[in-house]
Every structure is written in C-alpha cells, then in structure tokens.
Amino acid sequence: MIKRNNTVKVVTVALAMLIALPSAFAGNKDRIGSNGGEQLKINPWARGAGFGNANSASVVGIESAFLNVSGLALMRKMDLNLSYTNYLGGSGIGISSLGYGQRISEYDVIGVGFQTMDFGDIKRTTTALPDDAGTYNASYGTFYLSYAREFSNAIYAGITTKVITEGISNAKASAMAFDFGIRYITGANRNIQFGISLKNIGGQMKFAGDGFSTKTNLDDKEFTVSQRTQGVELPSILNIGLTYDILVSEYENSDSTGIRAMHRVSPSVNFMSNSFGKDQISFAVEYAFREFIMARVGYLYEDKITDAALSSFANTGPTAGVTVAMPINSTGGTLDIDYGFRATRNFSGSHTIGLRLNL
C-alpha cells in the first residue's frame, strides 16, 4: 500500500511538471546569449557526449545527475566517475568532472560531484597597456548534491541541488539551482524506459567585485565609482526521452542482477527545450555485447544546424562513443573506460574520456 501511494504521488508530480511546462519554457531563439551559466548546457560525461544527450531516459549512475537525476536510483552500490573533455579542440578549453554515488538503503541513493571549466591563460589588456598587460584566468564551476529514490519497480525520481560559480579574480557571480527527474520503466524485460527532467530551475546570476569599480578625480579629490550590474537568468531546460532495448539471446545473469543479453541494441531519442535557445532533438543507437563492450552513434539536431552562416551552435550534429567495461569481481562490478566525440564547426571536435568504477 505504501509503495502504491508513493507511485501515485510521483505520477501526480510528473503531471504537474507537464502542466507547468508552457509557462516555464516561454523562451525562444531570440534570447540566445542573454542567459548566465552557459556551462550548464554542456554534458561533461563521455557516454552522454557519445549519445548526443539522447540517453536521458536510460542514463544510470552518477552521470545521470546531468541529464535526468532519477537514473541515480538505478545504480548498484557505488559509482565513482571521472572525466575530462577537450572542448572545441584547439580552443584551449578543458572540462573536468568528478562524481560519486552511494546507495544508502534498498531504495535510496545519494550523489555528490563537481564540474569545472578551464580556459587557460587569456591575454589581458588595459587602457594604459593596450598591447600586453599580462594574462588572467577565468573559472567556471558547478557543485551538486543529488538524491534519488525507487518508488516502485517501475517509477524512479530524484532531485539535485547545485551551486554555480563563474568569474575572474575581480568579478564573480554565483547562483543556486535545482534539477528534477522522473523515470518510468516497463516491458517484459524492463526494456522500455521513459523519462522527464527539468533542469536549472533557480535564481539569477549577478556579477559583483572590484572589477566594476574605477577611480576618478574631481576637484583634486579622488573618488571610486561603482557600476551597477544586472542579474541574468539561468538556462532552464526540459528533457523528454525514450529508450527501447532490443535484447538478443537473453540469459539469467550469474550475479543475480536479472535478465541480460548476449547482444543489446538500444535506439534512443530525446527532446530538449531550452528557455534561452532553440529546441533540440537527439537520436542515437547503442550496441552492447554482453554489456562489456558498447558502441554508440548519434545525431543532435536543431534548426539551421547544417547552415554555417545561420547556425548558433558550435556542434554540427554527429556524435559517437565507445565503452569497455572490464569485470573486476564476481558480483558484477566493473571498471569502465568511456570515450565520447562530438563533431564541431571551425574546431577539431570535442573529445571526452572517462574512467568509471561501478561496484
């Protein structure tokens, strides 16, 4: 009875999210570039990169904190994931991400992690030294705490609280935001997965610091003039995803984790609505051999993405990736090596490599 009541509550929340969507996502392409926290749109994980975000309904473990946090509830006992992205190859931008998930009960899982962006040394100029005044560094960071729960053997939900910071030495901004995710799993072998997530629901980012102050002289007196700044909203995002697993040569797994298959083919699709950008649709297919070797290809589409003159997106659409999961114990634990690629325009692509310990 308790689980049934919980299921009703989760379904009610999902319906409320869908009803609220028209007002929450009233943005359009004309607002591109006017939001803060742009890094919140970039998937830092190798598997998600290879899928082109199409796996929002099937992502599992701490990686799900980015796309749909409900997937955290589907992890095993412990999940430690580390990844690095050479973003827009040749630009000098690097993205590092570390996440840790831990099951705390039969139904409850918590996760914690952070993501940082490094832009390298940026040339600095001033009015006094317009050619060369040294260099400076910009830093973007996202720190999050997630919680997910299994409400029934078909319904999972989760929430993430995160703090976003960005800035340079004399000008910084921060904000707090929340993500919500729900997943429904059905099918004879739990091979149909549907998910909805809302991301980056929170306050505004507003810059402050000494960088907005200048000194001036008036009547032989020195004054400090401070410029007022305007807050900017975060890029709220809606994901609606679907994954269907085609299982070939099924067998009962020896580690008692349920039905597995010699071969698995999983087509996935995801619709992403961005309050400060164009809608995106991702398609991907993943093939897995005994869940030890997995390869995936995908395509992320948005309006005008193939038009170099009109596209507002650095990516050109195609994505790909591969995973090798090496068994490390008799209970199904693995050490995974992941690689993801996103094709880009005017750069040599974005490459992500990850290492995951799944116990």
On the CB side of 23, CA atoms within 13 Å amount to 4
At residue 252 the predicted structure's pLDDT band, cuts being 50, 70 and 90, is low
Residue 23 pLDDT more than 50? no
b/e per residue 25-55 (b: at least 16 CB within 10 A) = bebeeeeeeebbbebbbbbbbbbbbbbbbbb
Q: Quick one: average pLDDT of 67-92?
A: 95
Enter the DSSP assignment of 37. -
At residue 259 the predicted structure's pLDDT band, cuts being 50, 70 and 90, is low
**How many residues appear in the chain?**
359
Can you tell me the distance from the alpha carbon of 351 to that of 322, in angstroms, rounded to the nearest whole number? 12
Take residue 34 and report the two structure tokens written for it.
């006017």
CATH number for position 346: 2.40.160.40
Provide the residue range defining the domain that includes 239: 2-358
Q: How many domains does the chain have?
A: 1
Between the alpha carbon of residue 324 and those of residues 98, 184, 226, 327, the distances in Å are 19, 27, 54, 10
**pTM for this entry:** 0.88
Take residue 223 and report the two structure tokens written for it.
């004054």
Q: Quick one: average pLDDT of 84-105?
A: 96
Query: How does strand 221-226 pair with strand 213-218?
Result: antiparallel
Take residue 86 and report the two structure tokens written for it.
């050479």
3-state helix, strand, coil in the chain (%, to 5): 15, 50, 35
User: Residue written as tokens 């997937």?
Assistant: 71
213 three-state secondary structure: strand
At residue 2 the predicted structure's pLDDT band, cuts being 50, 70 and 90, is very low
Question: What residue spans of the chain are helical by DSSP H?
Answer: 2-24, 46-51, 64-67
Which range (55-64, 150-159, 230-239) has the least confidence?
230-239
Give yes or no for a contact between 268 and 57, defined as CB atoms under 8 angstroms apart.
yes
Q: Looking at residue 348, what is its pLDDT?
A: 93
Residue 181 pLDDT more than 90? yes
Q: Looking at residue 226, what is its pLDDT?
A: 78
Q: Quick one: average pLDDT of 60-77?
A: 96
Phi and psi (nearest 5°) for 258? 100, -165
The DSSP bridge partners found for residue 167 are 139, 172
Q: Looking at residue 8, what is its pLDDT?
A: 56
pLDDT tens profile 309-353: 888 788 999 999 999 999 999 888 999 999 999 999 989 999 999
pLDDT tens profile 190-241: 999 999 999 999 888 988 888 888 777 777 778 777 788 888 899 999 999 9
Q: Looking at residue 1, what is its pLDDT?
A: 45
Can you tell me the distance from the alpha carbon of 328 to that of 78, in angstroms, rounded to the nearest whole number? 14
Give yes or no for a contact between 165 and 37, defined as CB atoms under 8 angstroms apart.
no
